Amino acid sequence: MIFKLVGDGRPYPEHGLTNREWAQIPPRQVRLDSLITTKAMLDLHSLLAADSTFYGDLFPHVVQWQGELYLEDGLHRALRAALHQRSILHARVLELPN
């Protein structure tokens, strides 16, 4: 099992963070098997592209809400980590109040 659950959508309230605000959150280690995805589908071109981690934030974005960790952005990075036999990912984690 790679992820805790494959979700489809964001069950948590809108946070409204910009990319600049996400960049202010220091990355921390997160176990892949503790993440719930917010996307059920992934474009293989994004996953397999040589420069797939070149654009955007280097770290995936995770939202912690009601005791769960939701992978909001960076699904292709998380899958690449899993394909390389890694169980831990460095991600920016936004903690939302319950």
* pLDDT on residue 59: 93
| Domain CATH for 91 | 3.90.1530.10
Blockwise average pLDDT, block size 10, the chain, 98 residues? 92 94 96 95 68 67 97 90 94 95
Instruction: Name the DSSP letter for residue 52.
Output: T
Domain count, the chain: 1
* pLDDT on residue 53: 53
Residue 43 lies in a domain: yes
Segments forming the whole domain that contains residue 64: 5-9+21-95
Residue 48 lies in a domain: yes
> Do residues 7 and 36 lie in contact, with contact meaning Cβ atoms separated by under 8 Å?
yes
Token pair belonging to 80 = 């690449």
Residue 16 lies in a domain: no
Residue 65 lies in a domain: yes
Q: CB-side exposure of 52: number of CA atoms within 13 Å?
A: 19
* pLDDT on residue 21: 95
* pLDDT on residue 48: 65
DSSP 53-81: TTSS-SS-EEEEETTEEEEEE-HHHHHHH
Residue 15 lies in a domain: no
Residue type, 52: S
Residue 67 lies in a domain: yes
